Amino acid sequence: MSVTTETQNYLNYINGTWSVSESSEQLKSTSPANPSEVLGHVQASTKQDLEKAVDAAKEGQKKWKKLSGAERGNLLFKVADILERNIEDIAETMTREMGKTLPEAKGETARGVAILRYYAGEGMRKEGDVIPSTDSSALMFSKRVPLGVVGVITPWNFPVAIPLWKMAPALIYGNAVILKPATEAAVTAAKVIECFDKAGMPEGVVNFVTGKGSVIGQGLAEHKDVTAVTFTGSNATGNHIGQTVAARGGKYQLEMGGKNPLIVADDCDLDLAVDAAISGGLKSTGQKCTCSSRVIVQEGIYDQFKQKLLEKVSEINVGDGLEEQSWMGPCATKGQYETVQKYIEIGQEEGAELVYGGRPVSNESGGYYMEPTVFDKVTSSMTIAQEEIFGPVLALMKVETIEEAIELANDVDFGLSASIFSKNIDHILSFIDDIEAGLVRINSETAGVELQAPFGGMKASSSYSREQGEAAKEFFTTMKTVFLKG
């Protein structure tokens, strides 16, 4: 059987086999640009399906961990090659399924290829240190070892990159994985899993179980044989998962929301700052966890900044993401579309001044399009300055000094990414020191991360562990300290 049946029914992948769920029920994945277009149906899996996946993963991991890192790496290199050959199809599926524009979807899929290659190479790197023993006739060393079975729970906004930046390190360090993707982007995820299948991954090492978060996500969090759970998504879900996994003594990692500030100093390069606010705030329809949603501008440059920003925002084309001219696609889901409208209403009710956009874009297909939206006169106590909107909405805030800007930037629960545009080294240094964010960016937009560097937030944005780069080793392995005496 292959990833899908003739009726566009996408299957689970358990123990190296594509299979239908015990429930015989499916969940529908539709296009946000045209909700009547069905991308496919995925399995509405049950706890029994998950049980089979956990059993398969436990068995598969026993053999997988015995392979050398280089052997595991060779398989990941193969997956990368297959994914690379399928970039066009997978990117187009992503655009249709969750509305990201095609160039962004291609960029994300290419990033997935690079992630796989980066971690494939990791199989040849060191896995411990020699530590001098007080016994001169002994050899003492540390050795990183896999955890066992890792549950991977992912959101819809990066349906290729996020599963891969979790799965690739989990796998290279010798774990087996069970991926539960967001249903809204599960067809794209199924096509990624197909690449693992085609590369000849051993049975049980990679498993894919779709279904409701409250059933499969919750099941992974509760299952005693799932040693660790890595999650990216909203704070409400993440905190619940963290508590569930912690209660049974498992390991967990949570990457959650953001309310990322972009500070614009009087002395900055104005054009660069405007472009960064637009790209960082509105690309992907504002649906990146690292999106700039608060633009904090020093008063000396405020009016000029606002004027240029509004000019450029007015040039943005909204479309289905497949057409070349569409710069911004639809909101990814109906729920998200409604949430964005709700926040725009709240912003106005609380006294922020709507200076651009704010309305749905009418269209024949009933797509979830919103105008790019800019609020002026936003204060820190307003809901739109505090809560993650996850939509194309920028909030402008005026300050006198950079100290005030940093204080305002920190005045939220979140702490994912933050950036400053300035040429003044004192401003830059105090920003680096004082900003409460895991990703600190200078003269560059808040969104954008490199796969070889640690990624993660502070405060409510994260459970303080880091993903990607070498930092991933910390989460996906545990350590043995070996004392060896002849």
What are the catalytic residues? 255
Beta carbons within 8 Å of 168's beta carbon, 6+ residues apart: 76, 115, 116, 118, 119, 120
Judge residue 36's burial from the number of C-beta atoms within 10 Å of its C-beta, 0-12 exposed, 13-18 middle, 19 or more buried: exposed
Q: Looking at residues 395 to 434 of the shown chain, list those that interact with ligand NAD (rule: CB under 6 A).
A: 416
Structure tokens at 101: 């524009």
Strands (DSSP E) found in 393-476: 393-399, 414-415, 417-421, 439-442, 458-459
Task: Return d(Cα 468, Cα 115) in angstroms, integer.
Answer: 9
Choose the stretch contacting ligand NAD; rule: CB under 6 A; options: 33-41, 155-163, 274-282, 320-328. 155-163
**Cβ closest to ligand NAD, residue 422 vs residue 461:** 461
Structure tokens at 297: 């501008």
β-bridge partners, 467: 455
Instruction: Using CB under 6 A, count the residues that bind ligand NAD.
Output: 30
Q: Does 159 bind ligand NAD (CB under 6 A)?
A: no
Q: Does 255 bind ligand NAD (CB under 6 A)?
A: yes
- In the complex, the smallest distance separating the C-beta of residue 85 from ligand NAD, rounded to whole angstroms, is 26
Q: Does 191 bind ligand NAD (CB under 6 A)?
A: no
- Nearest of 289, 279, 267, 296 to residue 376 by alpha carbon: 296
**Cβ closest to ligand NAD, residue 108 vs residue 320:** 108
Pick from 164, 168, 182, 263: which binds ligand NAD (CB under 6 A)? 182
**Cβ closest to ligand NAD, residue 94 vs residue 402:** 94
Structure tokens at 79: 């997956």
H/E stretch holding 338? helix 334-349
Please state, in angstroms and as integers, the Cα–Cα distance from residue 409 to each residue in 120, 347, 379, 456, following that order: 38, 18, 11, 17
Pick from 258, 319, 330, 358: which binds ligand NAD (CB under 6 A)? 258
Task: Return d(Cα 206, Cα 44) in angstroms, integer.
Answer: 19
Q: Does 237 bind ligand NAD (CB under 6 A)?
A: yes
C-beta of residue 476 within 8 angstroms of C-beta of residue 147: yes
DSSP letters, 19-52, are: E--TT--EEEEE-SSSTT-EEEEEE---HHHHHH
- In the complex, the smallest distance separating the C-beta of residue 240 from ligand NAD, rounded to whole angstroms, is 6
- In the complex, the smallest distance separating the C-beta of residue 26 from ligand NAD, rounded to whole angstroms, is 15
Choose the stretch contacting ligand NAD; rule: CB under 6 A; options: 24-32, 118-126, 132-140, 175-183. 175-183
Do the strands 12-14 and 17-19 form a parallel or antiparallel pair, or are they unpaired?
A: antiparallel
- In the complex, the smallest distance separating the C-beta of residue 87 from ligand NAD, rounded to whole angstroms, is 21
Q: Does 257 bind ligand NAD (CB under 6 A)?
A: yes
User: Dihedral of the CA atoms 447, 451, 457, 461 (nearest 10)?
Assistant: 70
Pick from 72, 240, 294, 441: which binds ligand NAD (CB under 6 A)? 240
Q: Does 388 bind ligand NAD (CB under 6 A)?
A: yes
Q: Does 156 bind ligand NAD (CB under 6 A)?
A: yes
Task: Return d(Cα 410, Cα 291) in angstroms, integer.
Answer: 16
H/E stretch holding 228? strand 228-232
**Cβ closest to ligand NAD, residue 148 vs residue 286:** 286
Q: Does 281 bind ligand NAD (CB under 6 A)?
A: no
Task: Return d(Cα 406, Cα 90) in angstroms, integer.
Answer: 40
Q: Does 221 bind ligand NAD (CB under 6 A)?
A: yes
- In the complex, the smallest distance separating the C-beta of residue 151 from ligand NAD, rounded to whole angstroms, is 9
Task: Return d(Cα 337, Cα 367) in angstroms, integer.
Answer: 10
Choose the stretch contacting ligand NAD; rule: CB under 6 A; options: 47-55, 154-162, 348-356, 363-371. 154-162
**Cβ closest to ligand NAD, residue 51 vs residue 127:** 51
- In the complex, the smallest distance separating the C-beta of residue 461 from ligand NAD, rounded to whole angstroms, is 6
Pick from 289, 297, 331, 402: which binds ligand NAD (CB under 6 A)? 289
**Cβ closest to ligand NAD, residue 290 vs residue 422:** 290
The helix/strand/coil state of 79 is helix
Pick from 12, 157, 341, 422: which binds ligand NAD (CB under 6 A)? 157
Pick from 390, 421, 431, 475: which binds ligand NAD (CB under 6 A)? 390
Choose the stretch contacting ligand NAD; rule: CB under 6 A; options: 65-73, 99-107, 138-146, 253-261. 253-261
Is the Cα dihedral 384, 320, 6, 75 positive or negative?
A: negative
Q: Does 469 bind ligand NAD (CB under 6 A)?
A: no
Instruction: List interacting residues with ligand NAD (CB under 6 A).
Output: 153-158, 180-182, 213-214, 217-218, 221, 232-234, 237, 240-241, 255-258, 289, 388, 390, 416, 457, 461
